[in-house]
A and B are shown apart, each in its own frame.
Chain A
């Protein structure tokens, strides 16, 4: 009986498998196709009123349609379209046609004729516009088909004279997207249709409707984007549009002018009302500069942004943007900047005490004053003073870009940037500080400028101060007074905000190493040494004193005469700091001391190559793995892993690579070990106990592969394949182990099926990489695939087992740049003995400050990092930090400053909770999703699901104490 049952089960099973094998991809479609279009048809026929029909259509649009059934659906829709009288329903149908034609795998050329047909007979302007939109979708779907494109362009041209702006808009959009690129080819193909798309679009620059004018300019920009070279004649037309009444037209026109100026920077244009001629890019620059004082802030933002990318502009035009001639009562007045500069060069500080200090001097020739500048005069002066902070930020960004390309401009714009440090909006201040940092290698700060910069150190915003520290790290200071000033201000900052300690020390480190010669004369004063008297030894734990020492020691690195000025305790302090703060204090060559560093420092430079070599060698050694017996292979792997780990510890720059490959080898080692288990040779019922090791290995390999995939930045596709392959092996292992240990076949069916799906998925997703996987597990598996599909689970398992044993070890190609993601929690420090007390039931905010390095995909970091609070009762809490809590101070680095809200019921005594950062991952996020889903109206996909998490920072313990509430 049992045997009989078993047979039946098998029979059923085979049936299912067969069906699956026939059509894994299309199974769903066969089922849905007829029902889909038929249901729609029935629905539409049922509909008694237009409103009903509209409802059905809306419902229909919510569900996806597969590529195979699209055509049927389209036919039904078209059929209904002809019958329909109500324009709103026709509109919906037209929009659905557009959506459907976007479906991947569906070639929309078959519906084009119909679409054009109904277009000719349509009366309603709205429906017409929608149909043109549909045609646009069709046209963009078939970019290679010249004939169709020509035809669509023809249709668009016919409807350009329509009275409705919407239709004209869509026509222009169509022209912009599909207008022929290579005119010569089309000329040969079809003499009739050689339309000059640019000319046609250009004619609509003077349309009566501003929306159509905008659409025309946009279409022109679209042509440019598609690689069509715009004619220079457009420039004049676009210039006229700059004085349009409507802001969207002006805004688009500014863009167009920018585009043309980039295309023909060197051609010459005449200046109206004079005989002179200038380069086009200069002229365009002047015009865009003029738009910076436009009436509409949208245009101003646009103009200010574009200015930044006009790098070919001649320098005198560029410098005009910062020029504003002041006058008072018709007499020339110097700007405050000029005065400051003069005072500085005459060696005198600004007095500013007299009323007439800034009194205007020379008379201005009334004829020569030009109140409305033809050119670029003062564009940035205006932009930086604008009412809207959006414009100011755009102007600062533009300044930054221009200054990066022109050192002389950088020098000139410095005054203005420094001024922006006092903007009323923090974002603008921050932006200008960042900008200054970016251009800092082009500039040297004058003392008065430094003064202003340093004044901002007292800002209460932490971001601003830290940005400023970063800025000071890479600024050039011209005088020793400047250095002194900076030090004094930084120390002031330190006393006011002790939390800035680390950042200030780091800043002083760079300041010192950049300006050794300027620090040298300051040393006696800073250390308060005296030629005759011994002074008191400063307190070693004073952060301010440490700050001074950091500055001096870093300067002393390149200035060998400096140590002579140190007093005895300074040397002692040096030794202490070199140990305790080794990242801030460099190795020094000190007289009368054994140079600990001398043995190391020269070797560091030369060692780089050997260590790289060593890494290569040890990895190559591993590749001979296959030829070894299992025992030897295990040993080799163990040694190599040990070597790699040690190497990673010694050479920080190779740590990523070493760790990465070590992890991979460990996976391999685990796999080999698992396969070495005795259990495979024993009869099934006896496995139960021993199988522990194998299943644990499988689990661990899975974990490690996830780490490899998501915890390293710079992992390329080749590595991902290998990692996935390893994971597949782990899954196979798991399957085998389960097969061996479980009785009954039911769970095994599911597992087998799932595994085969995974293999299939692997094949589909990494199809291009398969050739590289010669002889590997997957390679063999795919060869056996047809057999696997038809065999019973037990057989599958058997096949898997042998394949797993026979498969070759895959080389892991090393990526160029690979870094392990890491995180350090700076705050809470976890040292406090004072518990954080709060009333139970209420919330306490815990400040968390952490730096993250090499975290992939900063856009998504938001979803990835999670603060985890582990309460003593074992309860864990996942917290998603806000996107705004992440800051990006440098490439590959992120800073998380956030607050974690804790709450709990009352405890009898304080206890510790753990805080750590987790990296969450979702392996399916890399897979492209169904294109129909992009079609709009579909319900938003839940993509943020988290598959798992990897802890990647050391846990920090926080002492908390919820008190019972007092009644």
Chain B
């Protein structure tokens, strides 16, 4: 099973997947060999404790080390909101999260993990968030690559997704931005920095509502390095809690970050922020410029909303929304230009501060998806994690430009893929060398004809030379000969006919060994030709052509040649 996510939009049973799809009835463990989690976002791992502890699954769960570290933090946070704040019952408990995490097996990048006798998996770097991975799943010679979410353009703290030419049978790729080609990230970054810089220079305060993990770290690094470069002294704060814990892990998993951080962490770990300090509620009222990162990202509740209310009245201040906002949230309202907001308790808040929107998203755009498909060279592609209409466009493009069949199944739909199964056959060294000696030029990609005997024994296949096969099986060799009569119109004696045949063949088959034997017969390699005179008609002679089955090609050529008759000029 690939990923075990949840739907953020629902608060009832629909938020978790319906696992009875898999089982009908019976235990999940019997149906699943393993579960693979691509990264720690809740829409990819949110249902994990429910699935393993409440529905019941005891098999292994595979994820990368950073995912394993950060995932429980997020699950716990999510649980708290659902149970403690909203008071939901029938939800997984902290203990369940812990138990669930015990079933996790962590994998390294490019490490091939043998799940059981047949199934093996391998993780590739995917960008997106810390520890995000793409997985190659392989059984025998057939393989599937599942991308999870990935990003083909590097950002300030993560590198770009990369996969080798693994040529899977199927590539399952996300397609969030199936119809988008994005602008260069530099413009976005520059805009962002410029806006922040200008505001703090004016003495204003900047509020950046973020979700705790992922983009927040990128923006922090961006600001941190900028502050460092420009020697700025204005304080930057980050609202504490969840992030601090997660940040700790960001510091630890340096190999998963981008080139710059990896190269410089010996001197200084980029996640050890010099300019970014923990935020305290009281700081919001401090005079002077400052930059604050606060959760949550859509300004719908919590600290970010509190700060927003305090600062909204001053036109010197600024709020930067770094991501998408769901309809109905304060974030969405101010982004769509609303200047008077109705808060709880009939208060009306006038928004005088500047409102900016900056898109920092870590999904591959259409070009990136195509690039990844080009890198992996799959036989077919399956699009998931996107809107149907957009996927339609991408599907069409993939089929057109890459000439790869592409599928986009709806929920519950099954796709059946025909694959050409290749069966490995062992070949004896002697036979191989013999064949190699014959070949003159190396032609790697051309199929070559090879004579041998295929032995199937105890479900393994071997290709050996026929002599060896006979010996092994204890069989005697039988000779199979074809004989054929060719009628020739010739009035001369048999010997003369034979001689004529001999000289004719000698002139045509220059590179074969043609011999005239003393008993009057002619041989071409191992093919025997005898001339006989049938008693009834002295005008015709019958040529007896006989060849073994190995010489079938030459034999049939000879007969067709002889059937055309002998040239008259010779006589």
Contacts and interface: CB of A to CB of B under 8 A. Distances in A.
Contacts of A295: 162-165, 375
Nearest to A335: B183
Contacts of A43: none
A163 B436 contact: yes
A371 B367 contact: yes
Interface residues of B, number: 61
A461 B229 contact: yes
B396 A203 contact: no
Contacts of A837: none
A422 B397 contact: no
A324 B183 CA distance: 8
* Residue of B160, B191, B442 with most chain A CB atoms under a 10 A cut-off: B442
A425 B164 contact: no
A326 to B, nearest CB: 5
Contacts of B153: 385
A103 B185 CA distance: 57
Contacts of B258: 387
Interface string A322-364: 0011111110010111000000000000001111010000000
Contacts of A161: 440
A698 B225 CA distance: 61
Given A372-B374, A422-B193, A460-B230, A385 B186 contact: yes
Contact of B355 (A325, A329, A353, A496): A353
Interface stretch (A92-100, A132-140, A146-154, A204-212): A204-212
Contacts of A631: none
B473 interface: no
Interface stretch (A279-287, A451-459, A475-483): A451-459
* Residue of A208, A328, A389 with most chain B CB atoms under a 10 A cut-off: A328
A381 B371 CA distance: 14
A250 to B, nearest CB: 11
B244 interface: no
Given A335-B187, A372-B374, A419-B190, A425 B260 contact: yes
A424 B189 CA distance: 11
B24 interface: no
A49 interface: no
Contacts of B85: none
B335 A355 contact: yes
B393 A420 contact: no
* Interface size range of chain A in the complex: 35 or more
B191 A352 contact: yes
A388 interface: yes
Contact of B397 (A207, A328, A369, A425): A369
A292 to B, nearest CB: 11
Interface string B170-198: 00000000011111111111110111010
Contacts of B518: none
Given A295-B375, A387-B258, A389-B259, A336 B191 contact: yes
Given A387-B159, A458-B231, A459-B229, A206 B443 contact: yes
A327 B182 CA distance: 7
Contacts of A372: 370, 374, 401-402
Contacts of B336: 355
Interface string A552-564: 0000000000000
A425 B354 CA distance: 31
B356 A353 contact: yes
A355 B357 contact: yes
Contact of B337 (A163, A328, A333, A354): A354
A366 interface: yes
B512 to A, nearest CB: 25
Contacts of B443: 206
Given A335-B183, A353-B354, A387-B258, A330 B154 contact: no
Contacts of B475: none
A438 B162 CA distance: 35
B205 interface: no
B446 to A, nearest CB: 9
B396 A208 contact: no
* Residue of A207, A330, A425 with most chain B CB atoms under a 10 A cut-off: A330
Contact of A337 (B187, B230, B231): B187
Given A207-B444, A324-B181, A419-B187, A460 B229 contact: yes
Nearest to B157: A424
Given A355-B336, A458-B231, A385 B154 contact: yes
B194 A208 contact: no
Contacts, number: 125
A375 to B, nearest CB: 13
A251 to B, nearest CB: 15
A245 B167 CA distance: 11
B411 to A, nearest CB: 22
Nearest to B321: A355
A747 B537 CA distance: 124
* Residue of A203, A369, A387, A425 with most chain B CB atoms under a 10 A cut-off: A387
Given A353-B354, A460-B230, A424 B444 contact: no
Contacts of B370: 371-372
A419 B187 CA distance: 7
Given A355-B335, A385-B153, A424 B179 contact: no
Contacts of A337: 187
Interface string A311-325: 000000000000011
A452 B396 contact: no
A399 to B, nearest CB: 14
B220 interface: no
B444 A389 contact: no
A813 B189 CA distance: 60
B218 to A, nearest CB: 11
A906 B328 CA distance: 73
B184 A452 contact: no
B492 interface: no
A177 to B, nearest CB: 22
A85 interface: no
Contacts of A386: 154
A459 B329 CA distance: 39
Contact of B183 (A208, A336, A366, A452): A336
B225 A385 contact: no
Contact of A352 (B195, B229, B337, B445): B195
B442 A206 contact: yes
A829 B229 CA distance: 27
Interface in B196-232: 197, 225, 228-231
B477 to A, nearest CB: 31
B110 to A, nearest CB: 14
B390 interface: yes
Contact of B180 (A208, A328, A335): A328
A370 B183 CA distance: 16
Interface string B402-416: 100000000000000
Given A207-B444, A419-B190, A496 B165 contact: no
Contacts of A424: 156, 225, 260
Given A206-B443, A372-B374, A325 B181 contact: yes
B181 A206 contact: no
Given A355-B355, A366-B393, A459-B229, 18 more contacts: A161-B440, A206-B443, A206-B445, A295-B164, A324-B183, A325-B181, A326-B181, A326-B183, A327-B181, A329-B179, A329-B180, A372-B370, A372-B402, A385-B185, A385-B186, A419-B190, A424-B225, A459-B230
18 contacts: A208-B444, A324-B184, A327-B181, A333-B181, A335-B184, A352-B191, A352-B356, A353-B355, A354-B357, A355-B321, A366-B393, A371-B366, A384-B186, A385-B154, A389-B260, A419-B186, A458-B231, A459-B229
* Shortest 9 CB-CB contacts between residues of A and residues of B: A336-B187, A387-B154, A208-B444, A419-B186, A355-B335, A355-B357, A458-B230, A330-B179, A371-B370
Interface of B: 153-154, 156, 159-160, 162-165, 179-191, 193-195, 197, 225, 228-231, 258-260, 321, 335-337, 354-357, 366-367, 370-371, 374-375, 390, 393, 396-397, 401-402, 436, 440-445
